[in-house]
Structure 1
């Protein structure tokens, strides 16, 4: 299973393409692709958003669904989803209801 991630061009914030077609700041809102057609659709949306200067560094990433929600398989993406590993008071992990990066 994959989701589409990028960085918002206006402020560099890590974002994920959400089910409603917007770029969400929380990975829990990400739309998942379960097959090649879904992946191609997400990539096309990401390419259009990049060309419209909404986001940069658009990538499909591997994830799994666990009881706690969407979890990226790579550590790099877990850190992008939560925040720095050395300061729990910074990044997305400092927001209410979000756990540590790794």
Structure 2
């Protein structure tokens, strides 16, 4: 983890072990593939979300679990740090690969 989460609004990021896909903890403790769908946690809920994510890491569902600062926008959850925004869209060297190449499900 290169970015330290310090904000009052946070989400939880990881990589899904079976395919390496970047995922975020969503509602109902489900892993979602779009950062816009990530759940937002405040206060004590942040520790609870991280605890759940770490149990998923021990069960080898995900790896590299960490919190990230986010903001809530009309389009959903948005990371506040550029590194996390880039992770959310995929590789920047080819726009035909990664999440940015997929049609928007909305």
Q: Name the CA distance, whole Å, in 1 between partners of 2:55 and 2:39.
A: 17
Q: Unaligned regions of 5+ residues in structure 1, if any?
A: none
Matched, 1:68 2:69: no
Q: Unaligned regions of 5+ residues in structure 2, if any?
A: 1-8
TM-score (norm. length: structure 1)? 0.88
User: Would you say how many aligned residue pairs link Structure 1 and Structure 2?
Assistant: 97
Name 2:6's counterpart in structure 1.
Answer: none
Higher RCO (CA < 8 A, seq sep 6+):
2
Name 1:29's counterpart in structure 2.
Answer: 37
Secondary structure at 1:41 match in 2:
helix
TM-score (norm. length: structure 2)? 0.85
> What is the CA distance between 1:75 and its match in structure 2?
1.4
Secondary structure at 1:60 match in 2:
strand
Q: Name the CA distance, whole Å, in 1 between partners of 2:53 and 2:34.
A: 17
Deviation >6 Å, runs of 4+ = none
Matched, 1:12 2:20: yes
Matched, 1:51 2:55: no
